[in-house]
Every structure is written in C-alpha cells, then in structure tokens.
Amino acid sequence: MLTVSKLTKSFGANTAVDNATIVVRQPAMIGIIGRSGAGKSTLLRMLNRLTDATSGEIRFDELNVTGLTGAAKRNWQSQCAMIFQQFNLVPRMDVVSNVLHGTLNRRSTFSTMFNLFPQDDITRAIDILDRLGIAEHAPKRAEALSGGQQQRVAIARALMQEPSIILADEPIASLDPMNAQVVMQSLRKIHEEDGRMVIANLHTLDTARRYCDRVIGMRDGRIVFDGTPEQLTTGVARDIYGADEHFSEAATSTQIETLGATQQAPQPVDA
C-alpha cells in the first residue's frame, strides 16, 4: 500500500506541492492531470526520491520512503521506476544495452564500467523488448528508433528493475497520436498482467478516462479531485484546469482538454 501524507515541496516562496494526501490500497493505474505548473512532476519526483519533500511523509507498506538515505534510497528508486517524457536513453548505445541499464543498481562498479552483463539478464531484456513489440530493434542504436519506439525502450528499462511501482512523467506528451496509443496500451497491459502500480502524469482528459482506474487532479500544487474516470465530468475538469476563467458555461470537454494540452510548456519547477 502506498500512502502519501500531507506531502509538501517548496522552492523558496513557491509551493510546488501543497499538503498532498493520497492512499493507494492496491495496485492500480492512476492518472494525474492538471495544468503545467500544477505540481504533477514534482509530486512524482518526490515519490521516486529524485526530489526531497519539504514536509510530509511517503510510506510504501511498512517502509518510510521519505526517511531513506544512501543504499536504501537507491534500492527504493529501483523498486519505484521512473519513465520520463524525453526517454533519457543513451542515443549512441544499442537498444538492448539501454534496457540492461535498468539493472545498474544491483551490479558491481567493475561490471558497470565495462558493460559486462550476465547472459540471463541479456535474455530477459530481449524477452521484455519482445513483449513490447520491439525485439527486432535490440541491436540498433537507440537514436535510430522513432519516438514511440524509444519510449517503449524506456518502459523496458524500467521493467528490468523489477519494480513494484512505475512512475511515468508525461510519457506521451512528445508523441504522435498513434505512438501515444501504443505506449499507453503498453503501460495498461503491464498493470493488468503484472499487477504493478502505474502512476502517470497525463495532459489530456481523454487519455486519463480511457486508460486509468483512478484520476487525480491537481491545481496550484493542491489535489482538487481524486476519483474514478466516470466522476471526471466537464465541470470537474473546469475546476482542475481553471477553465471557468477562459470558457463560458457552454464550454466543451474538448476545449478544456485543449487548454490542458497547451499548458505543457517546460517550467523551471514542474512540467
């Protein structure tokens, strides 16, 4: 069970995440939506411990995540895998080696320096690539693949960590609609077949409704909605995105989704 209690992150006078509380009692696919700067990325980075919380607590089962340091913190980051919008692959390295980098936390410094991977890990990496429909690209350089294929390589790398939780920070924001669908289907399949918790920052309501069991809406660092896709009405979406400031009562959900998508410009604190 994942429990986030009164989690807050401040950068000087700016509060990026404000008193966030979330309880996830069983593995689910959860979408987090909101405008750019709402705190979505900062929240995920705190869950993964890439960013330290200013106050509050994160617990996973009996583990106090916010109190971890050193090797225990690195072990948590392996258990709580992160997928990024820009893939974070090594472009000139072949695909299978990029996937194998998911095992770095449990390998020796010597083997890491010389890229020495056990045959069992290589076989498993190729099996994961096959599961994601890109095994034929294993020997190619990552830079030779399309954006959607590279994101699936990043998902494969995350799976190599054997994580309990997969965090995806805007995993489809830079992809065309077809590749975005393939990536979201892959994440949904991983949740359903592996029983893994998947938490993804998303930029359209339609994606959250279609793929997620639960949707969390953030506005100005605070959680303003936490419910099922069916409860995510146009009125609720208007509250999340502040669309009442831009649209009349006749505003459509499509217009509100457009607002969410156009608010995704990079921010210094949160994307």
Encoded tokens for 212? 């997620």
Q: What is the pTM of this model?
A: 0.86
* Main-chain phi, psi angles of 255, to 5 degrees: -65, -40
Residue 61 half-sphere exposure, CB side, CA atoms within 13 Å?
A: 5
Summarize pLDDT for 168-218 with one digit per residue, the tens. 999 999 899 999 999 999 999 999 999 999 999 998 889 999 999 999 999
Summarize pLDDT for 55-96 with one digit per residue, the tens. 999 999 999 999 999 999 999 999 999 999 999 999 999 999
Helices (H) and strands (E) in the chain, counts: 10, 10
Is the pLDDT assigned to residue 108 strictly greater than 60? no
